[in-house]
Amino acid sequence: MFTGYLTFLIPALLGAQLILTLVLTKGEICPGQRGRVHKTLPVILVGWVLAISSHPVSLLPLLTLGYFTFKVKTGKTRDAGPLPVLYAANLFAALSWLMLLPTMSYPQMGLSLMAVALFGASLAHLLLTQARTRLQAFHRLLPFTGFASAIISVLLMLWLLTGMEESTVQAMTTDVVGALVLLVMSLLVWAGHILLTKKVNRWQLLAASLLLVASGGMQLALF
C-alpha cells in the first residue's frame, strides 16, 4: 500500500544525498570542511530508517550509505573513501524512489520529482550550513533551485486538482491553500539571507525546512 509521506521523504533524501556526494567528491574544500560535511551523513541515514517500515527497499541505500559513512575517516572521503559504495548508495536511493512511481498518477509523479530538487536542496542546504562549508555559491544556487521547483510544483498541484471532482476539490480547499501559504513562507525564509543581504544561518534554514515539511504534510491530502 502506498504511504503518502514517502512522496516527499524519499525524494528529500535522494536529493540531499546527491548534493552532498557532489560536495564530498568534487567540491573545492579542505579536508576539515570535508570532514564536517561527512559528519552530516547520519542525518540522511535516520531518514532512510524512517522510510524502511513502509518501503523495505530503503534498506539498500541505508546499508550502503551506512557502510560508507562509518568506514571512512572523516576528511578523507576523496582520498581513501570507497567511493563506489557511495555511488551505489545513490543508485539504490534512486531505485527506491523509482519504485514509488507506479503507485502515482502523472501529476503526483511530477510533484515527487520536484521534491527531489525542492526538499532535497532544502535539507542539503541546512546540512552544508551546519557543516560550515565555504562554498558560497550554494547559498544562492540552492534557494534558486527551491524557487524553480516550487513554481513547477504549484502548476502540478493545479493539474492534479483539475482531474478531480468539484466536491473533492472543495473538501481539499483548506489543505491546498494552507500548503501554498506555507510553501511561500518557507521560500521567503529560505531566501531571507539573499533578500536582506545577510549571512545565512542554520536557524533560518531549519525554520524554512520545517515550514516546507508542514507544507508537504498538507499536500498529502492530494494523494
The span from the CA of 175 to the CA of 222, in Å, is 9
Sign of CA dihedral 57, 58, 64, 70: negative
Residue 189 within any structural domain of the chain: yes
**Domain presence at residue 182:** yes
Residue at 166 is within a domain: yes
Grade residue 95 by pLDDT with cuts at 50, 70 and 90: very high
C-alpha 94/C-alpha 138 separation (Å) is 23
As a whole number, the mean pLDDT across the chain is: 88
CA 7 to chain centre: 11
Condensed to tens digits (0 to 9), the pLDDT of residues 159-199 reads 988 887 888 888 888 888 999 999 999 999 999 988 888 88
d(CA 94, CA 165): 33
Q: Domain range holding 180?
A: 6-222
- Look at residue 188 and tell me if it is in a domain: yes
Residue % of the chain over a pLDDT of 90: 54
The C-alpha atoms of residue 44 and residue 25 are separated, in whole angstroms, by 17
CB 214 within 8 A of CB 119: no
User: How is the chain split among helix, strand and coil, in percent rounded to 5?
Assistant: 80, 0, 20
- Does 1 reside within a domain? no
Q: What is the pLDDT of residue 88?
A: 95
pTM of the model: 0.91
How confident is residue 1, by pLDDT bands cut at 50, 70 and 90?
Answer: very low
Instruction: Pull the grid cell for residue 151.
Output: 513554481
Q: What pLDDT is attached to residue 75? A: 52
**Buried b or exposed e, range 143-161, using 16+ CB within 10 angstroms:** bebbeebbeebbebbeebb
Using CB atoms within 10 Å of the CB of residue 121, give its burial: 0 to 12 exposed, 13 to 18 middle, 19+ buried. Answer: buried
The CATH number for 22's domain is 1.20.1630.10
Write down the pLDDT at residue 52: 92
Handedness of CA 181, 182, 185, 187 (dihedral sign): negative
Alpha-carbon distance 185 to 181, whole Å? 6
Q: Is residue 147 part of a domain?
A: yes
Q: Kindly report, residue by residue over 21-78, the tens digit of the pLDDT.
A: 999 888 777 778 888 898 999 999 999 999 998 899 999 999 999 999 888 765 555 5
64 CB neighbour count, 10 Å cutoff: 22
Q: Structural domain tally of the chain? A: 1
In a domain, residue 149? The reply is: yes
* pLDDT number for residue 72: 73
In a domain, 103, yes or no: yes
